[in-house]
A and B are shown apart, each in its own frame.
Chain A
Amino acid sequence: MGSELVIKNLHANIEGKPILRGVDLVVRQGEVHALMGPNGSGKSTLANVIMGNPKYEVTDGEIWFKGENILEYTPDRRARMRLFLAFQYPMSIPGVSVANFLRRSLEAVREGNRPLEEGENPSGRMTRRKTIPPGEFRKLLQEKMRLLKVDNSFINRSINDGFSGGERKRAEILQMALLEPEIALMDETDSGLDIDALRIISDSVNAVKGPNLGILLITHYQRILNYITPDFVHVMYNGRIVRSGGKELAQELEEKGYEWLRPEGEETEVTADA
């Protein structure tokens, strides 16, 4: 049986303000789920909360992954369980080369699900980690770059530093290909891309897709779903999933917008799409 990400009645706040108001969702390895909804409905918040962003406070509910409640796990431990988040706005980290960072990251993810920092070594130093020989890493990275048709010039650059929007998004997909997650959350990977860049990104995602990867594709346009076919479509509204269906739901949303899905008696809240 494949890995399962199970979200039960998830409630979360940012700075005391409720954003998620009871989300239920199951994503399995091999499935592609599209999560749609208007700006401010809580889609990005859900992705961040699943990864454990400390900015958000979980007030109720559970997140289970591979049979473990991961709510108390640090973000790095969740990642080492092979959860992945492709960021909507990937951070730039000047002075750290992509190659250097990716190697560290791959080494860490291969350590698997165990705490690396807490209490293992009283000196505060972490235990020795198995390193990946540069030659082996180079070969692997090369393979993934070929698969995604990525130019090699970017690996010597600093992480996302001076990257265009499209480059950042592609770099995220390359990381996803390299780290081989079991469930990947893709947060508005299509935003800010022109049609050519969208095609390239979609090709990359399709190249990585397979029975070992479950995807939660967060978007508010139906556009990317022309290239990446979802098995399930969910609509989020005011912090809850209000409708789930097959790919035809996305088409319906394209035609009718979101307003008709607004639960009765609820005002539309306009918030920053955090």
Chain B
Amino acid sequence: MLNALAPGLSRDAVEELSRQKGEPEWMRQFRLHAWDVYEKTPAPLGRRGDLGTLKTLANFKFQQLRPFVPGQEGALPAAIQQSLEEALVNERSGLIVQHNSSVVHAELSEELKEQGVILTDLDSAVREHPELVQKYFMTECVPAGSSKYTALHAALWSGGFFLYVPDGVEIEAPILAQVWLDASGAAAFSHALIIAGAQSSVRFVEEYTSGVEGAGPTLLSDAIEVYAGGEAQVEFSTLQDLGQNVWNITSKNAIYDKDSSVTFVMAELGSKVSLASIGAGLQGNGSAGELVGVFFTDHDQRYAINSLSDHIGLSTNAETMVKGVLTDQSRVEFDGMIRVRPNAQQTASFLSAHGLLLSKQARAELIPGLEIAANEVSASHGATTGQIDEEQLFYLMVRGIPRPEAERIIVQGFFEPVLQRIPLENLRARLRRSIVRRMSGGYETEADSWIDAQERWEIEGVDEGAVHLDGNPQDEEEIKLTEY
């Protein structure tokens, strides 16, 4: 059993954490080096005139954080058990549970173990698979030195897990990871290191939730690194539903080998202040990245989200689609960049970001960017921010629907296309429920009927003798015939 560390982030705390964990010298050195980078690197402060989220984060009380608060060993806490029962995944191939700073549970189906799949907490991976961890951990995908906050993460990482999928292994049911925080004042670090071999496939779902009491500063620092081998297919969905007294810094990135594809689904609902960086390093020729992002903010939540589609190889594709709704005084900044490197010919890249403001105090700044250094490129981007259309509202109200409900229907309609892009059915359902719950016009049970109503209906017998809405298609056919 590891001991909790006293509040304060320091080089000594890094040393103490590494000593307690009994880590090999290379990891100790890795941490200390990262700590030096953290100390030397200034915090990002954003641009002049932005919404100030990065500045707010820079002023966070990092020094009051407890860098290591171990989770409860043995039986899983009741809150986690309940969360598992309501989890997004009904059938799963594996499970990882992190409680505060440490992983308290890891399981993987016997069948997958026999096929050489490894799913373990990151500490075990450091001991048992040092060559893989040394090669892949915060080196190329989310490099330790890429920002002040990634350096902090590299220096003080504590929880997290490691997944290795050998070449050709296709994992059907998703693997579920749950991160649960309930220690006020803790800095919890979670990390996902995924190595998917050539022609392998895996789906991963990670949920971040909390039940932190008290007003002390609490931080979840999180990184996701995905290495997709040749023709590998990886799908990684995250649902961040932390309490609004937790701050969150997350970096997600994938490195693509040839013809691989990685889909990130990022649903951001919780936390007080959140900085999310999400990237696609499309190095392999013919690789394809997809990012589907959904957010809904209220109260005084603040998000800064950056995405990067980095086209390096030949003939790569990327699609980024972000949609979010803001209410109350919440603020969201989104910077979406498409970068096409000089040799990345035949790139196709698309980015869209749409924000819907439900209150006059909410603010959104969605900025798409393009840097193109190749000439055979098809790229487009677009971003819009606006309020609900009064004419649409009037249309719904004239059909008897009260204003709050009409607003909710429009919000649902706004989200629906992006929800349709989420492969995981339970995540879609969870998001619909959250959206309804956050809208004042919602009935308690409305979400369920929304789902019903979105089913495609088959009405039998109507086709008989029916004409199309715009005239009878048979007529058109006859007209064509006479034309010839």
Residues of A at the B interface (CB closer than 8 Å) are 51, 53-55, 74-76, 78-80, 84-85, 87, 90-91, 93-97, 99-101, 103-105, 108-109, 111, 116-117, 124-126, 128-129, 131, 134, 138, 141-142, 145-146, 149-156, 158-159, 163-164, 166-167, 170-171, 175, 179, 196-197, 200
Contact = CB atoms under 8 A, between A and B. Distances in A.
Contacts of B469: 150-151, 154, 163-164, 166-167, 170-171
Contact of A116 (B389, B402, B415, B449): B402
A43 B94 CA distance: 66
A231 B114 CA distance: 83
Interface stretch (B101-109, B194-202, B440-448): B440-448
Contacts of A96: 409-410, 412-413, 416
Contacts of B416: 94-96
A97 B420 CA distance: 13
A91 B395 contact: yes
Using C-beta atoms within 8 Å of the partner chain, give the interface range for chain B: 35 or more
B400 interface: yes
A167 B468 CA distance: 8
Nearest to A110: B400
A134 B452 CA distance: 8
A6 to B, nearest CB: 20
Interface of B: 389-392, 394-406, 409-410, 412-417, 440-444, 449-450, 452-454, 456-459, 461-463, 465-471, 475
A93 B395 contact: yes
B459 A145 contact: yes
B471 A145 contact: no
B355 to A, nearest CB: 15
4 nearest CB pairs, A to B: A95-B413, A95-B416, A100-B453, A108-B400
B390 A128 contact: no
A101 B466 contact: no
B394 A54 contact: yes
B443 A85 contact: no
B401 to A, nearest CB: 5
Contacts of B402: 74, 76, 108, 116-117, 126
A109 B399 CA distance: 8
| Max count, chain A CB within 10 A of own CB: residue among B394, B458, B463 | B394
B399 A142 contact: no
Contact of B401 (A87, A104, A155): A104
B466 A149 contact: yes
Nearest to A178: B399
Contacts of A167: 469-470
Contacts of B400: 76, 79-80, 105, 108-109, 111, 179
A85 B471 contact: no
A90 B466 contact: no
27 contacts: A53-B394, A54-B390, A76-B398, A76-B400, A76-B406, A87-B395, A91-B389, A94-B417, A95-B416, A99-B453, A100-B450, A104-B409, A108-B399, A117-B402, A117-B403, A124-B440, A126-B405, A126-B443, A142-B459, A142-B461, A150-B462, A151-B466, A154-B469, A156-B456, A170-B470, A197-B471, A200-B467
A163 B466 CA distance: 17
Contacts of A166: 469-471
Contacts of A54: 390, 394
A249 to B, nearest CB: 29
Contact of B470 (A95, A146, A164): A164
A179 B401 CA distance: 12
B438 to A, nearest CB: 12
Nearest to B419: A95
Contacts of B456: 156
B470 A94 contact: no
Contacts of B443: 125-126, 128-129
Contacts of A87: 395, 398
A156 B458 CA distance: 9
B409 A93 contact: yes
Given A54-B394, A124-B440, A164-B470, A152 B399 contact: no
Given A53-B394, A126-B404, A151-B462, A97 B453 contact: yes
A74 B394 CA distance: 10
A164 B10 CA distance: 66
Contact of A156 (B396, B457, B470): B457
| Max count, chain B CB within 10 A of own CB: residue among A87, A95, A166, A200 | A95
B462 A51 contact: no
Contact of A90 (B395, B415, B449): B395
A76 to B, nearest CB: 4
B327 to A, nearest CB: 13
Contacts of A111: 400
A75 B397 contact: yes
Contact of B404 (A85, A117, A156, A171): A117
A125 B442 contact: yes
| Max count, chain B CB within 10 A of own CB: residue among A90, A100, A155 | A100
A138 B410 CA distance: 23
Given A126-B404, A151-B467, A75 B398 contact: yes
Contacts of B396: 93, 101, 105
Contact of A125 (B392, B440, B450, B467): B440
Contacts of A200: 467, 471
A51 B398 CA distance: 7
Contacts of B410: 93, 96
A227 to B, nearest CB: 15
Nearest to A170: B469
Contacts of B450: 100
Nearest to A175: B399
B97 to A, nearest CB: 35
| Max count, chain A CB within 10 A of own CB: residue among B399, B401, B402, B413 | B399
A267 B406 CA distance: 41
Given A95-B414, A105-B399, A131-B449, A146 B462 contact: yes
Contacts of B399: 76, 79, 101, 105, 108-109, 175, 179
A55 B390 CA distance: 9
Contacts of B405: 104, 108, 126
B464 to A, nearest CB: 8
A145 B457 CA distance: 14
Contacts of A175: 399
| Max count, chain A CB within 10 A of own CB: residue among B394, B442, B470 | B470
A94 B412 CA distance: 9
Contacts of B453: 97, 99-100, 103, 134
